[in-house]
Amino acid sequence: MSDLTNFERIEIQMQYVVPLIQDLKEILGEEVILAALEERNRRLDSKPVAPKQPDFSRMMEGTKMFAAGDALEYEVIASSDHIFDMDVHSCRYAEMVTELGGQDFGHLLVCAGDFAAAKKIGMKLTRTQTRMQGADYCDFRYRPDQRDQ
């Protein structure tokens, strides 16, 4: 299974999860399910993590992992020892979730986890828009996480 790209792993998960969430929306109501997904992401982001020195030198390597298999078309805007900024102009993750019918909640499944992941590696992510939510591009802005430091 290690031969799969990150996109392929997410695609397999979403083929199961998106129809499940659609069913739950029908059974329990859209508002309840969307609120539950938002709460899950808040909980993930609020989990305490051990303070870590961010290693911005590894951001290109990580970006390439998420982009493998032509999953992303992106432009690195800035990269140094203390920042990493990029814009994603094309996102197969967004296309795949839309094809599965999850465009109204895909950002809560795929994109929202980026904030907790950044926190785990000692970074703070700021993003104002995503392709998953219909924007022209995603704007990723990473800085050292000053919490607990």
Mean pLDDT by runs of 10 across the 149 residues of the chain is 88 97 97 97 89 91 95 97 97 97 96 93 96 97 79
Position 47 scores a pLDDT of 87
User: In three state form, how does the secondary structure of 55-91 look?
Assistant: CHHHHHHHHHHHHCCCCEEEEEEEECCCCEEEEEEEE
Domain boundaries along the sequence of the chain:
6-144
Kindly compute the dihedral angle of the four CA atoms of residues 10, 12, 16, 21, in this order, to the nearest 10 degrees.
20
Q: What is the pLDDT of residue 48?
A: 85
Q: Give the per-residue pLDDT at 147.
A: 64
CATH architecture under which domain 6-144 falls: 2-Layer Sandwich (3.30)
Dihedral sign, Cα of residue 60, residue 62, residue 63, residue 68: positive
What pTM was estimated for this model as a whole? Answer: 0.90
What confidence score (pLDDT) does residue 50 get? 85
pLDDT at 149: 46
